[in-house]
Copies of this chain bind each other. A is one copy, B any other.
């Protein structure tokens, strides 16, 4: 296997939001899941659970909960990645130990475990020609999502993932220049402002070149808007209800 082919595959990533009707063969799908599962896991906790949503009514509801994202319903597969402390936590009782899985650290472990597994699964899927799209929008209505999928205390939905054969071929979106995100020995941000100004022009050009135009908003303005808005202010209370009190 050529090294370059692997790196090229990773660099070719782009979100797919339009899928063909072709289903994913079950055997292949299982192989992708098994590959995803081999990602590293913090302290061997294996604190992630995947809900594969096949029921079409549930799919429609999730597409609605997540906001205007019809591909949640139409993609060949839709997975909800959950942080899960329940599976491990119930063994505390068996071994006569008190359960104390409600620290902020536990929330980080479960969230990171879910993300590492998901990204490994994404690479597996893309390596066999599938397209994917992460759906953070399930955190718009995490209570409704949790009730629909019967997520118990100790489990929370981190994000969703659409998978299917692509019916579109968008260009990868340029990323920030490497020196902006890679620092040596100390954080420091000398030179970032100029690099980001140039990147903003690149992003504007990227939007202009897409079919149908696009909003043309530079990166810096997009993220300024994002960080000035109330971001899913229900999350804290929802997580506490699910047992993630983050003490």
Contact = CB atoms under 8 A, between A and B. Distances in A.
B112 A228 contact: no
A7 B32 contact: yes
Interface of A: 1-3, 5-7, 9-13, 15, 30-40, 42-46, 48-55, 58, 82, 85-89, 91-92, 94-95, 97-101, 103-106, 108-109, 111-112, 115-116, 118-120, 122-124, 127-128, 132, 134, 136, 139, 149-152, 155, 158-159, 172-173, 175-176, 178, 180-189, 192, 196, 219-233, 235-236, 239, 246-247
Stoichiometry, as copies per complex, reads: 2
28 contacts: A1-B1, A1-B5, A12-B38, A30-B178, A39-B122, A42-B136, A44-B219, A44-B222, A44-B223, A45-B223, A46-B175, A46-B223, A49-B187, A50-B183, A52-B184, A82-B187, A87-B180, A88-B223, A92-B224, A94-B224, A95-B224, A97-B224, A100-B227, A103-B233, A105-B232, A112-B158, A119-B119, A152-B187
A35 B48 contact: no
Nearest to A53: B185
A127 B220 contact: no
A232 B77 CA distance: 37
Contacts of A127: 1, 3, 6-7
